[in-house]
Amino acid sequence: MKFILQNTKKVFLREYHENFEELILENKHHDEAIAEKMKIQNEKIALLRKALELNKFSDQNDKMDES
């Protein structure tokens, strides 16, 4: 009986370990996806800032042309 319990414990521990490793990998992929999305969002923000700067510059040129 003790042998069966020891084997059962080993099986449960192995399955727990495998499931835990799988969760770690899933979280890693999830974190990588979030990091990629953040990078894309930061690039979009940088482009929007440049567009605003160009728009301000264009508005200043238009005002100078009107004078």
Whether the pLDDT of residue 67 is over 90: the answer is no
Could you tell me the pLDDT band of residue 65, with boundaries at 50, 70 and 90? low
Q: Tell me the domain boundaries of the chain.
A: 1-28
| Placement of tokens 């990078």 in the chain | 39
Question: What is the pLDDT, as a whole number, of residue 1?
Answer: 78
Q: For residue range 9-49, list pLDDT tens digits in order.
A: 999 999 999 999 999 999 999 999 999 999 999 999 999 99
Reading the block at residue 57, the tokens are 């510059």
Whether the pLDDT of residue 64 is over 80: the answer is no
In whole angstroms, give the CA distance from residue 45 to residue 54. Answer: 14
Could you tell me the pLDDT band of residue 4, with boundaries at 50, 70 and 90? confident
